[in-house]
Structure 1
Amino acid sequence: MLARQRQAVILEEARRNGAVRVSDLVTRFGVSDMTIRRDLDVLASRGLVEKVYGGATAVLGKSTDEPGFEAKSVQQQTQKDAIAGLAATLVRPGTAIGISAGTTTWAFARALDAVPGLTVVTNSIRVADMLRESSQQDRTVVLTGGIRTPSDALVGPIAVHSLRRLHLDQVFLGVHGMADGPGFTTPNLEESETNRALVESGRRLVVLADHTKWGIVGISTFADLDEADVVVTDGGLPQAAQDTLTERVGELKTASVEEE
């Protein structure tokens, strides 16, 4: 098992049970005490666990916590780029697609540069700016309008009204969190409503989410797991989560990420 995969399993265990013990993890993974402590150091440096004597406790953010775009953009960059590249292969030239706000969808927009003839609808200022700078001259970009959130999403009645009048071939959504039961969630109530309108505007839903999103639950659900036709993630997703998604979603695609 690669280090990032082991860390993802440790994080899932900490979130499920509230805490993990070094001694238990050494036995479970068959690695040294120092290896587990290094894993916990990595997770602690990312603010995901808090180290305590003999182990670590989970750091569970409030369901309304909403980090800004800049804060999220430096997290899991390698995984997000790999997910974006794989998701871009699902886009056919000449189609109409929707793209939600988020740092993973922003990376996805960058990966679309080689796809001609697209009409793109987005509620993301960052995504719109990225697409505007594309080398493709035959691309139409439609920005919904609305009220700006900390994650640079445009939300509210104007955005929802715009989206409910559209019919898109595919919708590509980033998520704040995903979990069995709550489904795909966001910490912002207005963004949840806007995301729901975006989901309903598309014939096919593709969710882009790196492995750290599993087990995170925002205040509001905008789609159930089984509404996703495709989920694109990375190999750090724990096996139990992979099994759940394989059973619930139309198709689970895993992007290959080189171990640093």
Structure 2
Amino acid sequence: MLVAERRSRIMAEVRRRGSASVSELAGSLGVSEMTIRRDLDSLAADGLLDKVRGGARTPRGGDRLEPDASARARQNRDEKAAIALRAAELVEPGMSVGLGGGSSTWALATELRRIPDLTIVTNSIPVADVFARPDRADEPYTQTVVLTGGVRTPTDALVGPVAVASLEHLHCDIVFLGVRGMDLTAGLTTSNLLEAETNRALVAAGARAVVLADHTKWGAVGLTTIVDLNEVALIVTDSGLAPEAQESLRAHVVDLWVAPLTVPAATSAED
């Protein structure tokens, strides 16, 4: 088992139970207690859990752990809807579209459902559900490819070596992913080590990579970097991002679109 996968499973187990002992984790993962202690030291140093005598527990307040899918879906709904509406302009009938996990890509999926003849490649269970076979014959049917990754994140994304291996053989016209944070130094980050690996493979599978990130992601830094800011073709954010932050981003990214929170009657061609 890869170190990243083992540590992701440790975090998932501690999150699920609230706490776990070294012996319990060693037994469930089939490794030595010394290995588990080293993993806990590393995860505690990154603020992802609290190390206690004989084991680990979720951080006080739990605010450093990744929120689950339902909690994230409730955060910044208007901003994510505006971003999704703007990003949907990039997608045309007949395209193959990659969608990573997260609430921002889920919001985009709801916009893309009305576009016919798409092939959707996703490792997200909620996104795949959006593109289920339509109930009415007059609704567009979209083919969905779900990548089975073996490890399920709190946002119901399937990540891991199987997903990465599958993506190596796929070619998308465009891919969209959400992030935990965007920072000039750390780049585009996530809180899940295996998700970062899977998202890197998703970026590599696309002819064009687009990041969906509402303004609250600016300055936030997750556990690990997915890619640097200039490695994606476009970042789509919302007008809640401060002008000085927009200026900083434009100096480091290939392209930046800022979606208005209130769409005017006549939309300007400028971003």
TM-score normalised to structure 1 length: 0.73
Please list the CA deviations of residues 206-245 of structure 1 after superposition, one character each: whole Å capped at 9, or x if unmatched.
1101000001101110111001211111001122221122
SS across alignment from 1:89: helix
1:104-158, Cα deviation, whole Å (9 max, x unpaired): 1001000012211111100000000011155312x21000012211111100111
- Tell me, yes or no, if structure 1 residue 108 matches structure 2 residue 108: yes
Name the residue aligned to 1:66: 66
Aligned-partner SS, 2:251: helix
Secondary structure at the counterpart of residue 172 of structure 2: coil
The count of aligned residue pairs is 198
Structure 1 residue 61, shift from structure 2 partner: 5.3
- Label 1:211 to 1:60 Cα distance change in 2 as closer, same or farther (>3 A): farther
Matched, 1:241 2:235: no
Aligned pair partner of 2:224 in 220, 239, 251: 220
Distance 1:163 1:240 in 2: 37
TM-score (norm 2): 0.70
One-letter amino acid matched to 1:163: L
SS in 1 for 2:195: helix
Pair 1:194 & 2:198 matched: yes
SS across alignment from 1:132? coil
Q: 1:133 to 1:248 in 2, by over 3 A?
A: farther
Q: Distance in 2 between matches of 1:101 and 1:133?
A: 20
Pair 1:145 & 2:148 matched: yes
Q: Relative CO higher for 1 or 2, CA cutoff 8 Å, sep ≥ 6?
A: 1
Superposition RMSD in Å: 1.7
* Structure 1 CA distance for aligned equivalents of residues 62 and 188 of structure 2: 17
The DSSP-based 3-state class of the residue aligned with 2:196 is: helix
Distance 1:150 1:114 in 2: 28
Please give the alpha-carbon distance, in whole angstroms, between the structure 1 residues aligned to 2:129 and 2:88: 18
Give the deviation of 1:258 after TM superposition: 2.9
Percent identity, aligned pairs only, is 50
Counterpart among 168, 187, 191 of residue 164 in structure 1: 168
AA at the equivalent of 1:73: A
98-107 or 126-135, which moves further after superposition? 126-135
